[in-house]
């Protein structure tokens, strides 16, 4: 019996004229696929949007999330002061001594690490727990004695367990101390348009509301262009549930909750580039989750032959995606264990098309139902495979 | 297949490496992350090791003995991705200069973003053949059907499209390829280019594809053999290679009716 569980997410989402993710020339990012130029949104742009959605839209409390910063030492000092009322200087000394064991290269600024470290707020509190009972004795010690005493405390071990869900999903790389590395459980692909996409230029002028009275009207006081594109995007991500559970200390419930949060945040988040210019926030037209016990299957090949449609790009993209999913099952034997999908049956679709969609995606569900269905299924499967 | 044939020939694992983006880094340091024009040996060994669930510090000696050849079925083109890094707290980044106390100054005027450049191959398709002991190849094949880690084409954000594994038999997708050499196998595998790339070449009955294969007496060198993936001791050594061409009969060249698209003649949508 296989010991893997992957959850593939396929999203089709249309965005109006917009510039979600741009390059150094200000153009929306692009890529060629199947010989046709496509609009592209990089994976890192959407991962950051997903991480921010954990906080802002899902309102996941801070102690369940991570923070990515060079300032672990001063954050730890702040936490020590809040908990034990020692003064700033003593908290700084204690914090430095506690983190010395990590041997993380120091940054150019005092108290900062040389690179961004991604860790959980709850992990910081757990480090404070290690010393909270004996702070007064510790701060009274001389530097050498303090270093020796705290050297025995399991600081490293504390940072290696109890990861917040964003660290567990997106991983962490610590160059100086590989025992702190966390292998990412989620893989996110660059989103690309299902169809050939054109970049357009919006020529704009801005008029001075208070022109100089001594001059004739000169017309615009400023002119410029903003580049934009509109696209129906295919977005893909996969989550290795066996990896996610291992990252979360073998806790099935925590892994299932993190998966639910990821599906919701990935589906509902949107990069904010030029957001106020284009008001581009849309919701997906299709969110399909496939639970697999064989291998992740990226269906972007459905759009290798770009969609050209008279009847709407979403409708045609949905049908092509369904065909590719069915083909993957039939021709390559890559049949998902479960598929749950939020989608609209395209208007005016023939009974054949409707049947094709149902065969691939199942009956349409709401996003909440998709998440519940997948969570229930994955929980059962996790019980059947032993943690590694 | 006769027993005699089996005895003189070897077995080969054949991978199809295709997706919108791939990136096969050679020397990737600092802010510029390059890609080579074809998959590297370290990239393929990394992919096989990831499929088996090996961690970065696990030994890979058995995989280093595999010999490797790659065919460029569709070369794709280079994509430069502009990638920025900024401080989540919205603070200015630090400058290279220090003040009298030797602490680093923040950038003035404040600079909020740091730029890195990542290079990808877009719209490329490769076929890679791997040769080694049969049991090892079979265990790798099984691992690729049920990988322990999600697989990627050189960089994590580049998942492969299916089918990743090619088989000589439609009936049994799990068979290895029989052959006498890497070159022999790379001659057998049908052309994997996409529809648009084929259409550009319509009318040609044969196609010539470049291959790069391991060859101890080859006259070219690639420094892309990993010693270990352990981040503490990451190191590469070199291998000798030979570059050749294979000529394939394109028996699949499309005769199918396309959707009517008058603009295709003008190279529309390219």
- Same structural domain, A338 and A191: yes
Q: What pLDDT does residue B264 have? A: 58
Q: Please report whether residue A174 resides in a domain.
A: no
Average pLDDT over residues A64-91: 84
- Quick check: B18 contacting A, CB < 8 Å? yes
* pTM of the shown model: 0.82
Give the residue from A232, A279, A261, A260 showing the smallest Cα distance to A61: A261
d(CA A27, CA A41): 12
Percent of chain A with pLDDT over 90: 51
pLDDT in tens, A262-317: 999 999 999 999 999 999 999 999 999 999 999 999 999 999 999 998 878 999 99
- Same structural domain, A93 and A117: yes
Percent of chain B with pLDDT over 70: 82
- Domain map of chain B by residue range? 10-76+123-249
pLDDT in tens, B6-17: 334 699 999 999
Residue B5 has pLDDT above 60, yes or no: no
Q: What pLDDT does residue A192 have? A: 97
Residue of A nearest to B149 (CA): A240
- Same structural domain, A121 and A96: yes
- Same structural domain, A122 and A98: yes
- Same structural domain, A249 and A294: yes
Residue B250 has pLDDT above 70, yes or no: no
- Same structural domain, A122 and A198: no
Give the residue from A282, A287, A299 showing the smallest Cα distance to A231: A282
Q: What pLDDT does residue B150 have? A: 92
- Same structural domain, A97 and A156: yes
Q: Please report whether residue A208 resides in a domain.
A: no
Residue A74 has pLDDT above 60, yes or no: yes
Residue A180 has pLDDT above 80, yes or no: no
Q: Please report whether residue A335 resides in a domain.
A: yes
Full residue range of the structural domain in which residue A79 is found: 67-163
Q: Please report whether residue A244 resides in a domain.
A: yes
Q: Please report residues of B whose CB lies closer than 8 A to that of A173.
A: 231
- Same structural domain, A235 and A120: no
Average pLDDT over residues A328-347: 87
Note whether B148 contacts A188, CB cutoff 8 Å.
Answer: no
- Same structural domain, A46 and A82: no
Note whether A187 contacts B159, CB cutoff 8 Å.
Answer: yes
d(CA A113, CA A355): 57
d(CA A112, CA A141): 24
CATH class held by domain B10-76+123-249: alpha beta
d(CA B253, CA B205): 8
The bridge status of strand B67-74 relative to strand A66-69 is: unpaired
| Inter-chain contacts counted by CB atoms under 8 A, chains A and B | 143
Residue A68 has pLDDT above 80, yes or no: no
Mean pLDDT, chain A, rounded, equals 88
Q: What pLDDT does residue A118 have? A: 79
For residue A190, the surrounding DSSP H or E stretch is none
pLDDT in tens, A121-153: 888 888 888 888 888 888 888 888 888 888 888
- Same structural domain, A28 and A103: no
Top pLDDT among A347 and B227 is at B227
The count of structural domains within chain A is 2
Q: Please report residues of B whose CB lies closer than 8 A to that of A333.
A: 173
């Amino acid at each position: 019996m296989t010991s893997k569980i992957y959850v593939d997410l396929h999203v089709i989402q249309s965005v109006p004229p917009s510039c979600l993710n741009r390059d150094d020339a200000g153009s929306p990012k692009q890529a060629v696929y199947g010989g046709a130029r496509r609009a592209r949104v990089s994976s890192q742009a959407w991962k950051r949007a997903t991480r921010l959605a954990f906080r802002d839209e899902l309102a996941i409390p801070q102690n369940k999330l991570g923070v990515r910063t060079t300032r672990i030492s001063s954050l730890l000092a702040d936490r020590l002061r809040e908990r034990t009322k020692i003064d700033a200087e003593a908290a700084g000394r204690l914090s430095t001594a506690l983190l010395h064991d990590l041997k993380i290269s120091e940054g150019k600024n005092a108290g900062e690490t040389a690179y961004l470290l991604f860790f959980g707020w709850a992990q910081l509190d757990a480090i404070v727990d290690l010393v909270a009972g004996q702070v007064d004795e510790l701060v009274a010690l001389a530097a050498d004695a303090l270093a020796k005493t705290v050297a025995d405390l399991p600081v490293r071990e504390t940072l290696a367990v109890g990861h917040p869900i964003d660290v567990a999903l997106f991983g962490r790389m610590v160059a100086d101390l590989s025992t702190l590395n966390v292998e990412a459980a989620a893989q996110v692909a660059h989103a690309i348009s299902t169809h050939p996409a054109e970049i357009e230029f919006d020529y704009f002028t801005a008029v001075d509301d208070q022109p100089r009275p001594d001059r004739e009207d000169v017309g615009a006081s400023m002119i410029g262009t903003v580049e934009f594109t509109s696209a129906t995007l295919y977005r893909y991500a996969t989550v290795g549930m066996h990896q996610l559970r291992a990252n979360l200390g073998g806790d099935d419930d925590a892994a299932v909750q993190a998966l639910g949060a990821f599906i919701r945040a990935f589906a509902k988040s949107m990069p904010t580039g030029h957001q106020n210019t284009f008001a581009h926030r849309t919701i997906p037209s299709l969110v399909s989750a496939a639970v697999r016990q064989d291998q992740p299957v990226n269906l972007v090949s459905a759009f290798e032959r770009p969609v050209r449609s008279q009847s709407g790009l979403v409708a045609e993209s949905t049908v092509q995606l369904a065909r590719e999913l069915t083909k993957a099952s039939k021709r390559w034997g890559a049949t998902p264990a479960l598929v749950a999908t939020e989608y609209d049956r395209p208007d005016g679709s023939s009974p054949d098309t409707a049947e094709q969609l149902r065969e691939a995606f199942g009956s349409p569900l709401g996003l909440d139902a998709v998440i519940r269905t997948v969570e229930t299924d994955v929980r059962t499967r996790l019980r059947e495979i032993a943690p590694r | 297949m006769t027993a005699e044939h089996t005895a003189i020939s070897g077995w080969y694992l054949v991978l199809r490496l295709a997706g919108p983006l791939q990136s096969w880094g050679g020397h990737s340091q600092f802010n510029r992350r390059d890609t080579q024009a074809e998959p590297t040996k370290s990239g393929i060994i990394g992919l096989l090791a990831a499929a088996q669930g090996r961690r970065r510090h696990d030994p890979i000696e058995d995989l280093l003995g595999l010999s490797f050849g790659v065919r460029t079925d569709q070369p794709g083109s280079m994509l430069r991705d502009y990638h920025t890094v900024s401080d989540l707290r919205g603070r200015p980044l630090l400058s290279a200069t220090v003040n009298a106390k030797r602490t680093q100054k923040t950038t003035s005027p404040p600079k909020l973003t740091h730029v890195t450049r990542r290079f990808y191959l877009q719209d490329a398709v490769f076929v890679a053949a791997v040769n080694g002991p049969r049991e090892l190849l079979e265990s790798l094949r099984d691992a690729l059907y049920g990988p322990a880690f999600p697989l990627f084409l050189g960089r994590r954000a580049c998942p492969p499209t299916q089918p990743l594994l090619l088989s000589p038999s439609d009936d049994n997708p799990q068979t290895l390829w029989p052959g006498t050499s890497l070159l022999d196998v790379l001659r057998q595998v049908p052309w994997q280019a996409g529809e648009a790339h084929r259409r550009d070449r319509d009318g040609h009955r044969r196609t010539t594809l470049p291959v790069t294969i391991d060859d101890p007496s080859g006259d070219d060198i690639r420094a892309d053999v990993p010693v270990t993936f352990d981040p503490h001791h990451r190191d590469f050594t070199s291998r000798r290679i030979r570059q050749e061409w294979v000529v394939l009969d394109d028996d699949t060249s499309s005769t199918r009716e396309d959707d009517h698209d008058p603009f295709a003649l003008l190279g529309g949508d390219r």
